[in-house]
Structure 1
Amino acid sequence: MDEQTAFVLAIQLIALSCIAGALLLYLLCKMSRRKHTYDTTFATLNVGTARSILITSCETALGLQLALHFSSLGFRVFAGFKPTTAEGKSEENKSDGYKILRAKLKSCQNHLLSASVNLDDANVLKVITLPLDVTREDSLHEAVDIIRRHLPAGEDGLWALINTAGTCLKGKLENQDSSSQWDALLKTNVIGTLKTARTFLPLLQAKRGRFISLGISSELETDSVAYNASRYAVLGASLSLYQETKHAKAQFICINPETIPSEKLFAVPKLNKRGSRVSNEEDCSSNQAAKYNISVLNAFALDIFEEAILTERPKHLYIISKPNDISHYFSAIVERFQKSPLDKSKVIEA
């Protein structure tokens, strides 16, 4: 090897070393900031410490996924279902979402018991279902009473509320000939959000809790005028409430699910009730419900919800977007291998 070639190789090695060093320094900075993101209690105990959160609608796949995810982290989860599906019906006549939730919880519990884990000591999979319709004042106040009855003695408050209730309306404006569709859309997405915020504000203030709403998506180019209008209204309401309650004991957060189709956000799970070759239909239905895919959020999106709920000082606006530069990918790699405040041994995949 001549001197010129050796010199070029040396320069290349130095350049590569500088790049690698810069990337390593960047990743170390990211890791150090992340270590101090979560509040002290959570970072110490590595679980949700039985803090209470409410998910307003678990009849959607999104609500079910969040309920199971946060219950596996040690939160006490209150899972809302429409009153017609949460009470007054026999088990076989419950909604498919209710059946899926119960089947997946039972499957997770059996898995833990088979591993000789005491569920009470593990402090996981605590899910309490309750009737809840965000458009009805009586239902909202009844839900408050139910939550207070199920809270431990001496405790009165919610750590977080995730409003997953909502509807989606697709189609060109000129083809939507019934204003009743718009009324129902706005009643659930906008008025329901405001009613829920007003009703649960005292419970959230008791714990300096967070009210989390779903904002806008990236579907402005599609046939979703009325739906987009309702989501922008929710975003505006969340930002206004954030300013209004900035010095109060409650925090309003909006998450914009830019990469998730709106129809997927509010999709209602449907179990297949035909074509069973198993003699015991009840076992077949339970098995199908336990294996039903409710994944709406990927790991990156779930991390955003975790950050919004668990950080000491959450932002008022989060955006679920696709990684669009190399830093996102390196962050993902670091988060995969670093020792996170979350104790992954206590996270149960549903």
Structure 2
Amino acid sequence: MDDNTSIVLALQLLALCCIACALLLYLLRRIRPQPASLQTKEALHADPEDVLTGRAAGRSVLITCCDTALGLQLAMHLSNVGFRVFAGLRAADSEKDGGQDAAGVDSVCGRLLRAHAKHQEAVFGDLPYQGCLVTLPMDVTREDVLHEAMDVIRRHLPAGHDGLHAVINTAGLCTRGRLEVQENVHWDALLKVNVVGALRTARAFLPLLRNNKGRLLNVGAPGALGGDAGAGAVAYTAARYAVEGATNALRAEMEPLGVSVISLQPPEGATGEALFQPPREASEHHDVLGATALHAVEEALLSDKPKPRYQLRERVGLLRAVIPHMAVGKHAA
């Protein structure tokens, strides 16, 4: 066998090996089930029966604040994969008695969620659990609004259901400033929204969680294992660590009631603005979590034995709008 023939045969063998490896990888990808979070964009274009017969189908989840980038993305994603989502939106005082239609009626997030719900109705048609995204007024700093929200949820639960599968507290405020110059009013607001708001939420919805042996998910401290939230975030970091500590204490208190309490820990380097700043225009990008982080949230919601904390590993991306590094953030409660 001459040298040229040997080279040709070797190249042909190499090509066959490459083809075989490619086919093997393709088959493994087809066989291995993908998490629903990797199919977010396709979820509403898949067979609706697949969504309705999944583990999430019919389970009711409250997301306390969908005026935040984090809450907005979770509301859309979880409704895509089959959850019945109650999406909290801030409402003006004059609107709080108007029920579901008054919630965030003029907000960008409200418009996005209503458009999303209409699209779902068109996809699901007459199948069960159609329209599985319900907006309602919500303000975690006000007891009266929290109790009214609980009444709205009870009215919209499916027949035979008397509780929530989960409450995800996405309300938050990030106000930056150097400690020596930051005003007390900003500290008060940070504690009121982030810490007291988390406690009010837990207390208000405990009856609905207890009825269903559900789970409460709080957003903990960014980089809780040693990271920092960036310059000018002393008070904000203190507030988020307070939420982390309260979550740990609530876990022990609620365990005898059958309620799981879980901390969702943003990745190191995640900013409060990225998590809690709402989009100012509908064209702004509202996806702040990647596929792996969304899958972690799904696991926290659906695991038979959820872990006490889940790390949202992908770095959270900022909105397209430029957020000044030391600007005072607007809160969403």
CA shift for structure 1 position 321: 2.6
Q: Deviations over 1:231-287 (max 9, x none)?
A: 00000010111112222221110011024321110011112xxxxxxxxxxxxxxxx
Counterpart CA distance in 2 for 1:88 and 1:205 is 27
| Matching residue of 1:232 | 241
TM-score, normalisation: structure 1: 0.69
Find out whether 1:302 has 2:312 as its counterpart: no
The aligned residue for residue 63 of structure 2 is: 55
The structure-2 alpha-carbon separation of the partners of 1:101 and 1:44, relative to structure 1 and needing over 3 Å to count, comes to closer
| Other structure's SS at 2:92 match | helix
| Separation of aligned partners in 1, 2:273 and 2:75 | 19
SS at match of 2:257: coil
Higher relative contact order (CA 8 A, sep 6+): 1
- Which residue does the alignment assign to 2:92? 84
3-state SS of paired residue (1:245) = helix
| 1:119 positional shift | 2.8
Q: Is the 8 A contact 2:254 2:260 kept in 1?
A: yes
Deviation at 1:76, TM superposition (A): 1.0
2:136 equivalent to 1:144? no
For 2:184 and 2:294, locate their aligned partners in 1 and report how far apart those are by CA, in whole Å: 36
CA contact (8 A) 1:190 1:234 kept: yes
Number of the residue aligned with 1:102: 114
Q: Check whether the contact 2:293–2:314 (CA below 8 A) recurs between aligned residues.
A: no
* Gapped regions of structure 1 (runs ≥ 5): 1-19, 35-41, 272-288, 324-350
- Partner secondary structure for residue 263 of structure 2: strand
Letter in 1 for 2:301: I
Q: 1:248 aligns with which of 257, 270, 289?
A: 257
Q: Using the alignment, how far apart are the partners of 2:219 and 2:124 within structure 1?
A: 35
User: For the residues of structure 2 that align with 1:43 and 1:126, how far apart are their CA atoms?
Assistant: 11
Distance 1:266 1:143 in 2: 21
Q: How far, CA to CA, are the matches of 1:102 and 1:179 in structure 2? A: 38
Q: Of 162, 170, 179, which aligns to 1:173?
A: 179
In structure 2, relative to structure 1, the CA distance for the partners of 1:118 and 1:146 (3 Å cut) is closer
Q: Which moved more, 1:156-165 or 1:72-81?
A: 72-81
**Residue 132 (structure 2) aligned to one of 119, 126, 131:** 126
Q: Note the alpha carbon deviations across 1:61-119, whole angstroms, 9 max, x for none.
A: 2111111111111111111112318657898961121112112333x33xx84xxx543
Counterpart Cα distance in 2 of 1:46 and 1:262? 33
Cα separation, partners in 2 of 1:120 and 1:313, compared to 1, 3 Å: farther
Contact (CA 8 Å) 2:290, 2:314: kept in 1 or not?
no
| Contact 2:292 2:314 survives alignment (8 Å) | no
1:320 aligns to 2:312 (yes or no): yes
**Is the CA contact 2:229–2:272 (under 8 Å) kept in the aligned structure 1?**
no
CA deviation map 1:312-340 (0-9, x unaligned): 110011112359xxxxxxxxxxxxxxxxx
CA distance in 1: counterparts of 2:240 and 2:190, whole angstroms: 10
> 2:256 aligns to what SS in structure 1?
coil
1:121 and 1:134 map into 2 onto residues whose CA distance is 33
1:167-217: CA deviation from partner (whole Å, max 9, x where unpaired): 0011211121x2011101100100010011011111001111110000011
- Structure 2 residue runs without a partner (length 5+): 1-20, 36-49, 316-333
- Partner-residue secondary structure (3-state), 2:76: helix
In the other structure, the counterpart of 2:193 is 188
**Among the aligned pairs, what percent are the same residue?**
46
**Distance in 2 between residues matched to 1:44 and 1:67, nearest whole Å:** 17
TM-score calculated relative to the size of structure 2: 0.72
Which deviates the most, 256-265 or 208-217? 256-265
1:69 aligns with 2:77: yes
Change (3 A) 1:180 1:149: same
- Name the aligned partner's letter for residue 134 of structure 1: V
Q: What SS does the corresponding residue of 2:180 show, helix, strand or coil?
A: helix
SS of the residue corresponding to residue 255 of structure 1 reads: strand
User: Deviations 1:7-62 (Å, cap 9, x if unpaired)?
Assistant: xxxxxxxxxxxxx9xxx9xx9xxx79x9xxxxxxx999325221111000011121
- Say yes or no: does 1:198 pair with 2:208: no
Identify the structure with the greater helix proportion. Answer: 1
AA matched with 1:233: A
Q: Secondary structure at the match of 1:74?
A: coil
Q: Residues of 1 paired with 2:288 and 2:163: CA distance?
A: 28
Mapped partners of 2:187, 2:277: distance in 1: 18
1:158 correspondence with 2:164:
yes
Query: Does the CA-based 8 Å contact 2:229-2:271 persist in structure 1?
Result: no
1:46 to 38, 51, 54: 54
* Contact 1:68/1:125, CA 8 A, preserved across alignment: no
Distance 1:132 1:142 in 2: 9
